[in-house]
Structure 1
């Protein structure tokens, strides 16, 4: 079947519906602020310093969130056809270029919000060759500025970075890389103050960073409990929204309160003996961004095989990558988080070292890895990470599919592929 009709996932937690409702209301309010009221706003990559914008009360549209939003509305295929018709290569990176495709389509009748208005600035780290081309052309199409941020090489190749990142971040992520990121963030603040007439408040920023530590601490506690509990109290169908939606608002009163509520609900389910699948026999790890056009995929084999996706990068990432001992240097602490975000998710030895450790911590039986054929960054370290997992005893299935482009995705075929892989691995 084609997934253009959509496959819904089952949600077990009450707080999941609240998170989705909050994000829906936020989307409506964001549209009002930037489309109807004409407030300044920015389009930014996920691995950029959102905290700067939050501290200045400047709304942001995150490129990855925008892409997932477009994909969930089943519009990706139409927009990528427009890109191809305009002469763009058929193998353009889907995740990063879908927003550009929507702008180039210039079809207010189909576009979410009728299309994006002109943002104050577009911001992206230059983490791969295509980013600067996508964002430069997008900024030109929207008639605004592009603020690129460097992604310098990381010389400290410590596969055990996650055990030291909360406290020793100034050493783990390299002082020179942190200093460069701080300098660029200061330049970004100058640009934003000039273009928006809003001021950066150091005290407000410090409070925000402190609150982020509290929020991520709640998520970390829940992740640790889920990892050691058999059967898992919740699958990633509940983990993803309750982690990622608060992350888009990290440090806000709502985000901190919701993270605590999520943690408490997970603890309550464990205490009551409730599970995502009471017949859990196979614990699965999902590596890569979510398949935003088919969320029901993750629960398709629970009843049939007792195969439960108990791990994805979003939730356990909160502890090692977001929590920082501030040391009176909140800007440096933020820089240490930003300058390493893509590296620890996509490049060895950081990606492979962390995921091998996480598979052991969570008792993972097999890993399913998304390998988008046209997303160079998502391909960079996946094969080496697959080799590391298999060497550690975790079989890996690599799926040739895209997180936002549903053209080559077939729900039934993908579910069957996973089932066959589990059978061949002797797990089903």
Structure 2
């Protein structure tokens, strides 16, 4: 039996569309709006009831609606580069589309943009928002770890001081309080530490449900669910972290997957090959995953979205602001940096029993070579693809499918 669409994914998509329409109305009535990068502490905004949109989510919507190229063209038409940091830049480019051609009527111009200083070019993208005259940019510094702790996923929930070190946590905790002051002055709203603690508790509960789902999928053969639905079911609630709805959505996903496992359902009953997709979702061609299920019996059983939601987000402690700093101080390390990411990806590949890995490497992803090397040393073949997940011009669909097909036939099934 093949599952084509999870109820949890459909519900999450419907919720997100209704929520976005409500957000547009709220902002039109005068509420402040923040655009927040995925590497910035959204929980502070949640605790202050400040509406926000996550930059990467909006970029994924623009790309999925086949409007990324037009948005990047808008950047180029204004004299800015359209070939660098596209995942960061697509949302800014889309702000120059007319409301009638933008997804869902377009994103209102934000009052605040909040992001980490991940590079000079990324900083410039967010500086451009501030040049509009309405938007103010609050940047976080990016810190680096001098060492990588072994099995960080076992440490970070409760021993985050050991994992990241006091200096990094001191810096981000201080910046979190600076953000609070910045938002209080800009909105007139008051921050409540007890409310942040409630938000953190809900996020931890959500992460616990995601971990149960991840572990269930890792243990099940054949795969009951494909990554296409899992991405939607996981990531929309992720952008609503700290709400009862998001916590319950994660619980609902787990329960739906458990039912599928109990019934012996499979996304591809003739599963021949289990694949891992490392990197961001290919937003402009999400059907790629299901095409390989149907044509080759090759199922993508893993993406980083559920896995990092399971291992990367839970943080427990008596000081919610410092625990929040621990959630984000090493966020990039966990996904990309040597010594952190490579060990984690190997662990995930082995527990999910994958036969091979397709590794999407964007121009802003550090340490990709070390991840590929570690997987190959563990006996897991890897196909590296150089492309931007948000820019359809960066790769050719036929060439990409052909490369994966060749990888299947010459390295995995040879």
TM range (shorter): over 0.9
User: How far apart in 2 are the matches of 1:181 and 1:192?
Assistant: 16
Deviation at 1:114, TM superposition (A): 4.9
Alignment CA distance shift 1:135-1:94 (3 Å): same
Deviations 1:253-282 (Å, cap 9, x if unpaired)? 111111111101111111111111111121
The residue number in structure 2 matching 1:367 is 357
Deviations 1:325-345 (Å, cap 9, x if unpaired)? 22x111111100111112211
> Is contact 1:159-1:354 (8 Å) kept?
no
- 1:406 maps to 2:399: no
Alignment CA distance shift 1:283-1:40 (3 Å): same
Aligned partner of 1:33 among 20, 26, 32: 26
> Is contact 1:213-1:323 (8 Å) kept?
yes
SS at 1:293 equivalent = helix
User: How far apart in 2 are the matches of 1:341 and 1:275?
Assistant: 33
Equivalent positions of 1:96-115 (< 5 A) are 96-103=88-95, 105=96, 107-112=98-103, 114-115=105-106
- 1:347 maps to 2:337: yes
SS at 2:380 equivalent = coil
User: How far apart in 1 are the matches of 2:133 and 2:284?
Assistant: 26
Higher mean alpha-carbon deviation, 105-114 vs 13-22, is at 105-114
The residue number in structure 1 matching 2:51 is 59
Aligned partner of 1:330 among 308, 320, 333: 320
Higher mean alpha-carbon deviation, 130-139 vs 289-298, is at 130-139
Alignment CA distance shift 1:50-1:426 (3 Å): closer
Deviation at 1:117, TM superposition (A): 3.6
Aligned partner of 1:396 among 382, 387, 399: 382
User: How far apart in 2 are the matches of 1:44 and 1:226?
Assistant: 30
> Is contact 1:76-1:406 (8 Å) kept?
yes
User: How far apart in 1 are the matches of 2:176 and 2:300?
Assistant: 37
Aligned partner of 1:193 among 174, 178, 184: 184
- 1:178 maps to 2:164: no
Long gaps (5+) in structure 2: none
> Is contact 1:368-1:399 (8 Å) kept?
yes
Equivalent positions of 1:34-183 (< 5 A) are 34=27, 36-103=28-95, 105=96, 107-112=98-103, 114-141=105-132, 143-183=134-174
SS at 2:271 equivalent = coil
Alignment CA distance shift 1:100-1:273 (3 Å): same
> Is contact 1:159-1:352 (8 Å) kept?
no
> Is contact 1:279-1:303 (8 Å) kept?
no
User: How far apart in 2 are the matches of 1:343 and 1:392?
Assistant: 21
Aligned-residue CA RMSD (Å): 1.7
- 1:385 maps to 2:371: yes
Alignment CA distance shift 1:408-1:144 (3 Å): closer
> Is contact 1:127-1:342 (8 Å) kept?
no
SS at 1:300 equivalent = helix
With normalisation by structure 1, the TM-score equals: 0.93
User: How far apart in 1 are the matches of 2:24 and 2:150?
Assistant: 42
Long gaps (5+) in structure 1: 1-9
Deviations 1:108-141 (Å, cap 9, x if unpaired)? 4423465444422111111222121111122112
User: How far apart in 1 are the matches of 2:87 and 2:153?
Assistant: 26
User: How far apart in 2 are the matches of 1:30 and 1:394?
Assistant: 45
SS at 1:407 equivalent = helix
SS at 2:284 equivalent = coil
The residue number in structure 2 matching 1:5 is none
How many equivalent pairs are there?
413
Alignment CA distance shift 1:420-1:142 (3 Å): farther
The residue number in structure 2 matching 1:3 is none
With normalisation by structure 2, the TM-score equals: 0.96
Aligned partner of 1:310 among 289, 301, 304: 301
SS at 2:115 equivalent = strand
Alignment CA distance shift 1:18-1:142 (3 Å): farther
Deviations 1:266-325 (Å, cap 9, x if unpaired)? 111111111111111211100111011111001111132210000000101122211122
- Which 4+ residue blocks in structure 1 deviate beyond 6 angstroms? none
User: How far apart in 1 are the matches of 2:248 and 2:153?
Assistant: 26
User: How far apart in 1 are the matches of 2:177 and 2:79?
Assistant: 37
> Is contact 2:143-2:168 (8 Å) kept?
yes
Deviations 1:200-240 (Å, cap 9, x if unpaired)? 11121111111111111011001001001111111111211
